[in-house]
Amino acid sequence: MKNMFDASPSTEEAAGKNRVDSESTSYSEIKPPDYNKSPNTAFDYFINFVIGYVLGALVLYVFYRIPVLTIIGGIPVGAVVSFASQFSSKAKRLTNLRVQFYDMLESMAVSMRAGNPPYRALERAKSELLLVYPEDSDIVTEINVILARFQNSIPLSVGFTDFAQRCGLEDVVSFASVYATIEGKSSKANEIIQDTQQIIADKMEIEMEIDSMMMSARNEANTMLVMPILILAIIGFAGSGFMDSLFTTLVGRVVATVGLIVFIACFIMTQIFSKIKV
């Protein structure tokens, strides 16, 4: 009986003879994605800088009413927002990669239930994923890299392990570890892939439930952060001099500075406490 999990190149020799040389050449030229690098473009950084600059300048003007401070102070705020955007874009990229990896496992499981070995199932998965994701998507690129290495007599387990080490996703790391342990030693590849897929699905469902419960709390927190700024702005502009002491006296400047520090601290704590990992 043929071992479905034996994905060494020798077991796929017949399939390798049918591959086109041009395809192998294109595979060998593919560079593995770097998940430590932000996917943001220069335009993305610029847009985030402008958004941060405008918001920072508005807040500074509401608290101090000093045009020069407003113009200059918005620059570091914009720079911080632009710099921080790379971390959120990295996190979003990995989140999308996790969903793509789940789709890959689902496609592989279906193909292997039909009797295909892991390599052939991975090729089928790539064809199906191309119907949903573009050619330059991370998961398609990763599959191309793994297939290219397999064509150069490198086992699939090595490709999956390298993929896991570069992306750092817990689900990918677990799958690569199990695959490397039993490659060529078990015929239950289909069951293992299905189990990994189900685990990812359960975790994603739990995360969606938690995110739904946290959504209202995040909205309330954001409202509580914005309301003091709006109240201060309305009273300051429509209060007929009621808030003038806040902008003209030393004590008023100190109070405004303390209020700004508290506002920033509350914003940071809101961002930290609203993130829950499963």
Amino acid residing at 55:
L
The beta strands (E) that lie in 123-166 are given as none
- The structure tokens listed for 204 are 């994603």
- What digits encode the pLDDT tens for the residues 214-231? 777 778 888 888 888 888
The beta strands (E) that lie in 37-193 are given as none
- The structure tokens listed for 51 are 């958004």
Whether the CB-CB separation of 41 and 171 falls below 8 Å is answered with no
Alpha carbon 180 to chain centroid, angstroms = 26
| Residue 77: exposure state from Cβ atoms within 10 A (0-12, 13-18, ≥19) | buried
Look at residues 16, 232, 264, 224 and name the one whose alpha carbon lies nearest to residue 120.
16
| Low-confidence winner among 15-19, 92-96, 206-210, 233-237 (lowest mean pLDDT) | 15-19
pLDDT value at 2 more than 80? no
CA torsion sign, 215 to 219 to 224 to 226?
positive
Look at residues 111, 128, 49 and name the one whose alpha carbon lies nearest to residue 84.
49
Look at residues 78, 9, 24, 7 and name the one whose alpha carbon lies nearest to residue 47.
78
C-alpha Rg value of the chain to the nearest Å:
27
Q: What is the mean pLDDT of the chain?
A: 82
Alpha carbon 277 to chain centroid, angstroms = 13
Question: What whole-number distance in Å separates Cα of residue 111 and Cα of residue 252?
Answer: 70
- What digits encode the pLDDT tens for the residues 134-182? 999 999 999 999 999 998 888 999 999 999 999 999 889 988 888 888 7
Residues 69-92, mean pLDDT to the nearest whole number: 92
The CA–CA distances, whole Å, from 105 to 131, 149, 165 equal 15, 19, 18
pLDDT value at 233 more than 60? yes
pTM (two decimals): 0.76
